[in-house]
């Protein structure tokens, strides 16, 4: 199958043109998008290749090497259990990226779908959904999550359930607001005049146009979710020890700050760098999405 055929297949298949159009033109990406994507790609790669990159075990440590400062043998030093910190950070990359991704994009899909439908259909569906959103947003986010976790018990799965139950609301509001504008656009009226049904119009015609703001927001949300996972680990409710989730490492490191500053700070650096990469992606995305609607840019 040559490139041309692959191109055609991809294009006429189910992949939304909006997404394909973005991926297709990497060369034309703004610098922020390229650099952000590069950073995140490197972090992801490091996480995936962690077992290959480091001989140390992130879970079981060597007590005789506990609290060693950064050195050639341990570039990031060791923690109080004698575990190599670099190894923990590398293995943690996979965990944190996964948590961030799932905690961001599952609520995004749910929220955008519901919000778009509410915005377009209006009526009782809209009222019902928005009242539900109001209800959930009335509680402080973290408090709600903790309550749900207290009921369900700790662990990654339950953390996901709690985040899904609450996180979709942000995206629902964003998507609904955009939809209220988009449904007045003439191409939506034209789509109705062509006899397309409501669901088709909502999901195929309106959605690619309204998802921009949600995607840009999702980059911030990604970072925030990583931090959320850390906070929950602090309470012992999210990722359970000994899993090397960055926030958990930072949190544990607080007890050793004066003796072993590297335990708290170096994983913190990893969070910062990842967050930077994601923010750059968000920046670049908002540029591209702005360009699409305004050819002058």
Contact call for residue 192 and other proteins (CB under 8 A): yes
Distance CA 127, CA 188 (A): 22
DSSP 256: G
**Which CB, 19 or 135, lies closer to other proteins?**
19
DSSP 78: B
Asked if the bond preceding 242 is cis, omega within 30° of 0, the reply is yes
Secondary structure of residue 84 in the 3-state scheme: strand
Secondary structure of residue 194 in the 3-state scheme: coil
Minimum CB separation from other proteins for residue 194, in Å?
A: 4
Contact call for residue 293 and other proteins (CB under 8 A): yes
Q: How many DSSP H helices and E strands does the chain contain?
A: 13, 0
User: Among residues 71, 84, 63, which one has the least CA distance to residue 263?
Assistant: 84
**Which CB, 5 or 64, lies closer to other proteins?**
5
Binding segment for other proteins among 60-68, 89-97, 182-190, 263-271 (CB under 8 A)? 182-190
Contact call for residue 196 and other proteins (CB under 8 A): yes
Count of positions on this chain that bind other proteins (CB under 8 A): 25
Contact call for residue 124 and other proteins (CB under 8 A): no
Distance CA 205, CA 217 (A): 21
Contact call for residue 12 and other proteins (CB under 8 A): yes
**Which CB, 64 or 293, lies closer to other proteins?**
293
Q: Which residues are at the interface with other proteins (CB under 8 A)?
A: 11-12, 17-18, 21, 185-187, 189-197, 200, 204-205, 208-209, 292-293, 295
């Amino acid at each position: 199958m040559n490139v041309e055929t692959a191109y055609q297949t991809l294009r006429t298949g189910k992949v939304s043109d909006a997404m394909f159009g973005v991926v297709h033109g990497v060369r034309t990406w703004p610098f922020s998008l390229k650099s952000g994507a590069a950073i995140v790609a490197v972090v992801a790669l490091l996480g995936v290749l962690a077992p290959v990159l480091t001989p140390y075990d992130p879970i079981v440590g060597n007590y005789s090497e506990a609290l060693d400062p950064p050195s050639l043998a341990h570039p990031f030093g060791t923690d109080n259990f004698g575990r190599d910190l670099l190894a923990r950070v590398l293995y943690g990359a996979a965990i944190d990226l996964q948590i961030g991704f799932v905690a961001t994009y599952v609520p995004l899909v749910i929220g955008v779908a519901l919000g778009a439908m509410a915005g377009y259909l209006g009526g009782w569906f809209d009222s019902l959904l928005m009242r539900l959103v109001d209800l959930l947003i009335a509680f402080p986010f973290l408090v709600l999550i903790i309550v749900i976790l207290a009921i369900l018990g700790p662990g990654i799965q339950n953390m996901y359930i709690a985040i899904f139950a609450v996180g979709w609301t942000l995206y629902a509001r964003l998507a609904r607001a955009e939809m209220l504008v988009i449904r007045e656009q003439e191409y939506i009226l034209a789509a109705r005049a062509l006899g397309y049904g409501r669901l088709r119009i909502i999901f195929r015609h309106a959605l690619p146009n309204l998802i921009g703001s949600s995607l840009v927001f999702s980059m911030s949300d990604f970072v925030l979710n990583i931090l959320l996972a850390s906070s929950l680990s602090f309470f012992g409710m999210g990722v359970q020890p000994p899993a090397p989730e960055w926030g958990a490492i930072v949190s544990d490191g607080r007890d050793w700050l004066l003796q072993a500053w590297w335990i708290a700070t170096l994983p913190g650096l990893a969070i910062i760098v990842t967050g930077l990469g994601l923010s750059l992606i968000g920046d670049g995305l908002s540029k591209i999405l702005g360009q699409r609607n305004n050819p002058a840019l």
